[in-house]
């Protein structure tokens, strides 16, 4: 029996590479600002259901002409004294709740194969 080795996976690797390039090309835009109550509601729901969330941080100089930092995506590992511990694929990020500009539930956005 002949094994095609890497040849049989080239199409799969190429499609993942294209998807990654598309994600990088998406220009980040400022999402609508949320007040503390709205942020708290989304965080409570995400913590309760262990949902994936996306967080957009406030910048030191909020300028609508300047693109924001990429959104941080992860699951809530804990909240303590106004500090949100967000577990991403690679690390745990500590973020002050006061530094959150926008947060949204990313339930259903994750691909089945990731």
pLDDT given for residue 2 in this prediction: 56
pLDDT tens, position by position, 8-52 = 555 555 666 667 666 655 667 889 999 999 999 999 999 999 999
End-to-end CA distance of the chain: 31
* Domain boundaries, given as residue ranges, for the chain: 30-105
pLDDT tens, position by position, 79-102 = 999 999 999 999 999 999 999 999
17 backbone dihedrals φ, ψ, rounded to 5°: -65, -45
CB atoms within 10 A of CB 2: 4
- DSSP 8-state symbol, 109: T
Q: What is the CATH number of domain 30-105?
A: 2.30.30.100
Contact 36, 100 (CB under 8 A): no
């Amino acid at each position: 029996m002949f094994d095609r080795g890497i040849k049989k996976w080239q199409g799969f690797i190429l499609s993942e590479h294209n998807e990654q390039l598309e994600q990088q090309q998406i220009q980040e835009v400022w999402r609508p600002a949320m007040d503390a109550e709205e942020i708290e509601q989304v965080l409570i729901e995400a913590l309760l259901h262990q949902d994936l969330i996306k967080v957009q941080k406030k910048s030191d100089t909020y300028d609508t002409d300047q693109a924001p930092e990429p959104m941080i995506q992860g699951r809530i590992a804990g909240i303590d004294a106004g500090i949100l511990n967000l577990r991403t694929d690679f690390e745990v990020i500590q973020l002050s709740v006061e530094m959150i500009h926008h947060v949204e539930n990313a339930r259903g956005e994750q691909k089945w194969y990731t």
